């Protein structure tokens, strides 16, 4: 892997916003730490990585990304650990996934060493922004966009890569009510479904809004061809506990390759839980729900962590799932993940990368 060979320049803010920030009362994605990393791809190379005060950017109205959505992003978290340090969780997997998205979107690869160093330095610098309580963490948002000022349709020649961070608690404040979507589609074979590109999220807004108007927090997408098979939910992968077996749709190119999804599968298997990654039909879920064999369901994502699903709506029926306090399996896996992130138990997987 190429490296830029350049040191990251650091310009500290002259006036931290932290004293005026109430870290006890933060809404997801609305509070931004003091600094951000910026690096530009120009003339075929990444240049001048710099950590600078978080702030606004100027850009031409003709900037390519604003027109044709050539943009990708990632999401990962830094956690305070039980020993006074800070851990990143599986950053190498996020870096690899971002570069996988970049490939699909005709964007340049980001050198892994620069990417990791940038995140590490940024988190170190803004570590005071991580709230001290158990429910909180620092959400890290790396993203890249096409920065040519040009409105012809072609891949950009220049790109900007930015990382900023936000102190966060849960993405959902309560167990979610979801609806199985069988009219609109999020992804098709050969499309960008497994890519973390902005356009996937933009295209999902309208159907998701229709669902929200009906009182659902999120949709559960089905395959674009037949609408018979479950894929993922708006901001997370999905798991179903059917008679004690954890069932989740397999990665077929249309589903995001969730890193939290992967962590859950590995922990569950190591706990002796039977896990099946395969096609999951809507009918199977509905029959299991109707017969009381669907013991629980949950979404999994970096932002959402483990988000319990309270109810699932099909075309003509809504099924309420057992109370969250009774969801022993999901709660046990969630606790184990948290214990690893927070350094309360050994990390047998090599997921934890300490920052300080």
Q: Which residues bind ligand COI (CB under 6 A)?
A: 75, 235, 301-304
Reduced DSSP (H G I as helix, E B as strand, rest coil) percent helix, strand, coil of the chain, to 5: 25, 30, 45
Q: Which residue is nearest to ligand COI (CB)?
A: 75
Nearer Cβ to ligand COI, position 259 or 294?
A: 259
Nearer Cβ to ligand COI, position 158 or 165?
A: 165
Q: 12 is written with which tokens?
A: 């500290």
Nearer Cβ to ligand COI, position 53 or 199?
A: 199
State the angle between helix axes of 112-125 and 91-104 in degrees (0 to 180), rounded to the nearest 10.
130
Spatial separation of the C-alpha atoms in residues 261 and 133, rounded to whole Å: 25
Nearer Cβ to ligand COI, position 33 or 235?
A: 235
Give me the least distance between CB of 195 and ligand COI, in Å please.
Answer: 12
Contacts of 194 (CB under 8 A, 6+ apart): 187, 251, 253, 254, 255, 256, 257
Give me the least distance between CB of 140 and ligand COI, in Å please.
Answer: 9
Looking up tokens 């369901």 gives 297
Spatial separation of the C-alpha atoms in residues 36 and 20, rounded to whole Å: 19
Look at residues 161, 122, 163 and name the one whose alpha carbon lies nearest to residue 145: 161
Give me the least distance between CB of 204 and ligand COI, in Å please.
Answer: 10
Give me the least distance between CB of 48 and ligand COI, in Å please.
Answer: 27
Nearer Cβ to ligand COI, position 46 or 216?
A: 216
Give me the least distance between CB of 139 and ligand COI, in Å please.
Answer: 7
Q: 274 is written with which tokens?
A: 């039977």
Can you say how many angstroms the Cα of residue 246 is from the centroid of all Cα atoms in its chain?
21
- The gap between the terminal CA atoms of the chain, to the nearest Å, is 26
Q: Where on the phi/psi map is residue 189: left (φ > 0), alpha (ψ -120 to 50), or beta?
A: beta
Helix (H) or strand (E) holding 218: strand 218-222
Give me the least distance between CB of 147 and ligand COI, in Å please.
Answer: 22
Give me the least distance between CB of 79 and ligand COI, in Å please.
Answer: 14
Give me the least distance between CB of 68 and ligand COI, in Å please.
Answer: 20
Contacts of 15 (CB under 8 A, 6+ apart): none
Sign, Cα dihedral of 120, 122, 124, 126: negative
Nearer Cβ to ligand COI, position 150 or 201?
A: 201
Nearer Cβ to ligand COI, position 158 or 263?
A: 263
Nearer Cβ to ligand COI, position 94 or 296?
A: 94
């Amino acid at each position: 892997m190429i490296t830029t060979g350049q040191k990251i320049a650091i310009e500290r803010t002259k006036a931290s916003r932290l004293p005026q920030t109430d870290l006890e009362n933060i809404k997801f994605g609305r509070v931004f730490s003091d600094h951000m990393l910026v690096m530009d791809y120009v003339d075929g190379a990444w240049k001048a990585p710099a950590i600078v005060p978080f702030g606004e950017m100027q850009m031409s109205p003709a900037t390519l990304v604003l027109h044709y959505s050539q943009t990708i992003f990632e999401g990962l978290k830094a956690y305070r650990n039980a020993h006074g340090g800070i851990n990143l969780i599986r950053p190498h997997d996020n870096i690899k996934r971002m570069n996988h998205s970049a490939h699909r979107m005709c964007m340049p690869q980001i050198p892994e060493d620069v990417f990791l160093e940038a995140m590490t330095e940024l988190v170190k610098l803004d570590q005071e922004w991580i709230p001290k309580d158990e429910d909180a963490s620092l959400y890290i948002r790396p993203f890249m966009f096409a920065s040519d000022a040009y409105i012809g349709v072609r891949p950009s020649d220049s790109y900007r890569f930015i990382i900023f961070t936000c102190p966060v608690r849960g993405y959902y404040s309560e167990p979610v009510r979801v609806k199985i979507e069988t009219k609109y589609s999020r992804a098709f074979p050969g499309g960008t479904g497994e890519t973390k590109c902005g356009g996937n999220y933009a295209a999902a807004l309208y159907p998701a809004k229709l669902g929200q108007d009906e009182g659902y927090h999120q949709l559960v997408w089905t395959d674009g061809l037949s609408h018979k098979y479950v894929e993922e939910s708006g901001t997370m992968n999905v798991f179903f506990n059917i008679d004690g077996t954890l069932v989740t749709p397999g990665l077929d190119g249309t589903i995001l390759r969730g890193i939290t999804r992967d962590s859950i599968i590995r922990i569950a298997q190591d706990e002796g839980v039977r896990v099946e990654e395969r096609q999951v039909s809507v009918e199977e879920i509905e029959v299991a729900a109707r017969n009381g064999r669907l013991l629980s369901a949950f979404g999994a994502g970096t932002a959402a962590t483990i988000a319990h699903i309270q109810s699932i709506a099909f075309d003509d029926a809504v099924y309420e799932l057992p109370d969250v306090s009774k969801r022993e399996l999901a709660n046990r896996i969630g606790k184990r993940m948290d214990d690893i992130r927070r350094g309360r138990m050994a990390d047998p997987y090599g997921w934890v990368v300490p920052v300080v």
